Chain A
Amino acid sequence: MTEKPLVCIVCPRGCRMTLTLPDGDAPLPEEIHVTGNACPRGETYARQEMTAPQRVLTSTVRLTGAALTRLPVKTSRAVPKERLRDLIRLLDTVTAAAPVHIGDILVKNALGTGADIVATRDMDAMETPE
């Protein structure tokens, strides 16, 4: 058994947790013992982070027909950390057209991750397109 400190990143509170891991390379989530977390999300995060870390990706895509030329987007849920670079390359190829609303799905099930690419800002269409 080894002990490992981990700061929870689920919320800004940043609980300082202590994990007890079984010996060996690939622990199973349920084998990981977590203390120091203020809420159950900490335990979930710690087990996920130790076995298959995930992140929400936030970035922008090209936008046409609006006053601005970039639209902020995010993945609708956390995706495996190792897929971030593939997803960001995917975003290079996406162009949204105004009007856009928060939550509009731009790419469904992006790269098979199960996460959609969704708009995170309302963008009106320009009244007089040039």
Chain B
Amino acid sequence: MKSKKNTTGLPTLHAGIVVIGGGPAGLAAALEAKKAGAPSVLVLERDTAAGGILNQCIHNGFGLHYFQEELTGPEYAGRFLHMVRETPGIEIKTDTMVLDVASLPAGEETRVRVQGVNPTEGYFQVDAGAAVLAMGCRERTRGAIGIPGTRPAGVYTAGCAQRYINIEGAMPGRRAVILGSGDIGLIMARRLTLEGAQVLACLELMPYSSGLQRNITQCLEDFGIPLYLSHTIIDIRGRERVEQVVAARVDENRRPIPGTEMVFDCDTVLLSVGLIPENELSRAAGAAIDPRTSGPLVDESMQTSLPGVFACGNVVHVHDLVDFVTMESGRAGRAAARYLARGATDGGTEPPAVPLYNGDNVTYTVPQRVHPGRLEKACEVFFRVNRVMEGAEILVTSGDAILLRKTRPHLAPGEMERLILPAALFDRAPEGLRISACPAEQGEQGE
């Protein structure tokens, strides 16, 4: 990548495609973009090593879909790092933070201008023909969910505690209560236990766990850690360090029920209460954001509302499995390479995109819109539902017409669903498709 001074006085690098984030999404996008013919790909990674959050996810369970074998997080990342090293034309800059992404007007050869900084090269900009946003997500915090009580040391997000234990080798606490039964919380229950800490309870606000059953079995049940469904923390006590946590059962409106309080003597609270796509750069660049996913609106090729700017992985919507991040990101990388090859001539006379609507019990779909003309055979759609359904039907409709009907033995909010829509379906619904889910026997699961 050549460097030259430009008029702004900043050193400027040039790349065919700039990828922001060197986690699983960014690495897969970079690899597939290069394979699809992109002349050069530059990956900008803020951490000192590429691989993203996988480096601290030392447990196994990764890669069963993509590699058909069970890997740990660092092993899964390692495979991609190895492939990237073997692929000429991909450069990764680590320890590099991107501070601005700007989408330039159509007609310019440079469609995206990125500003970043690192200790060795200082502050610089990158002019690229296309960009892939792969910044991942962050954890919801105590402040976001408003847990009452004092504010002592010892309240950590699960991912922060995971970094302390697995990367720094330090113990965040010795007696912990975990709020939230998402996968990271469950994994950390086991991790703390294996390192000699005591996990007193895992509390879940909802009447069902949002984590995978395999994690409930292997991380809680194996170690006799109780899971309290429909429970939350109503008070944290302790001045300097957490001393006690008060939990209570909640009613169907998620309000604590007086008289159900339980007091835990503990020094640590771990929060596993949800992940939020990290889109400050996308917002500042002007990408349209879907309030339901908190990620950019994307089409079938993972292109955002900004031409030449693609997005993939947890920055678009929070995934349960890295395998699906890899597949989605590969799609984004290939599309970015195609965009680059096509030049800045957008669709032209192609028909407008077909929107995907959320029907009954569906909280979001990705993509949110589809260009039927650009589909080869079919479109892969990810979606989530808002309730647990044992025995469910997925319906794809246009107006009153049911175009597709699929049955699933089990649907849950914690499990992302995948649906393949044949290209032909879109020709029958130029006004849009609606995706709904309902219990197979209506009324059985009524609220």
Contact = CB atoms under 8 A, between A and B. Distances in A.
Interface of A: 7-12, 14, 16, 55-60, 62, 67-70, 72, 74, 81, 84, 88, 102, 120-122
Nearest to A58: B59
Nearest to B78: A102
Contacts, number: 79
B166 A56 contact: no
Contacts of B195: 59, 88
Contact of B58 (A10, A60, A69, A88): A60
A12 B320 contact: yes
A71 to B, nearest CB: 9
Nearest to A75: B60
Contact of A121 (B74, B321, B415): B74
B194 A74 contact: no
13 contacts: A7-B213, A8-B214, A12-B61, A12-B214, A14-B214, A55-B222, A58-B60, A58-B72, A59-B194, A68-B169, A69-B169, A72-B72, A102-B78
Contact of A59 (B58, B61, B409): B58
B410 interface: yes
Give 5 closest A-B pairs by Cβ, nearest first: A9-B214, A121-B74, A72-B58, A70-B169, A7-B213
Given A12-B212, A12-B320, 4 more contacts: A9-B214, A14-B214, A120-B74, A120-B78
Contacts of A55: 218, 222
Contacts of A16: 409-410
A60 B59 CA distance: 10
Kindly name the residue among B48, B72, B167 whose own CB sees the greatest number of chain A CB atoms within 10 A.
Answer: B72
Contacts of B78: 102, 120-122
A6 B70 CA distance: 21
Contact of B64 (A11, A74, A84, A120): A11
Nearest to A14: B213
A31 B215 CA distance: 27
Contacts of A12: 61, 64, 212, 214, 320-321
A7 B369 CA distance: 35
B70 A102 contact: no
A14 B75 contact: no
Contacts of A10: 214
Contacts of A62: 169
Interface in B142-171: 165-169
A70 B72 CA distance: 15
Nearest to B196: A88
Nearest to B49: A67
Given A69-B169, A72-B72, A72-B166, A58 B58 contact: yes
Contact of A72 (B48, B74, B212, B321): B74
Nearest to A91: B194
Interface string B49-83: 00000010011110011000010101100100100
A33 to B, nearest CB: 19
Given A12-B212, A67-B48, A88 B217 contact: no
A16 B195 CA distance: 31
A68 B167 contact: yes
B346 to A, nearest CB: 38
Kindly name the residue among A11, A57, A72 whose own CB sees the greatest number of chain B CB atoms within 10 A.
Answer: A72
A10 B213 CA distance: 10
A58 B195 CA distance: 11
A25 B78 CA distance: 44
A59 B58 CA distance: 7
A84 B168 CA distance: 23
Interface in B92-133: none
A128 to B, nearest CB: 16
A121 B61 contact: no
Given A81-B222, A102-B75, A121 B213 contact: no
Contacts of A88: 194-195
B158 to A, nearest CB: 16
B212 A14 contact: yes
A122 B79 CA distance: 11
Contacts of A81: 222
Contacts of A74: 58, 60, 72
Interface in B202-226: 212-214, 217-218, 222
Given A7-B217, A16-B409, A16-B410, A70 B212 contact: no
B166 A60 contact: yes
Kindly name the residue among A62, A81, A122 whose own CB sees the greatest number of chain B CB atoms within 10 A.
Answer: A122
B8 to A, nearest CB: 34
Contacts of A121: 55, 58, 74-75, 78
A84 to B, nearest CB: 8
A100 to B, nearest CB: 11
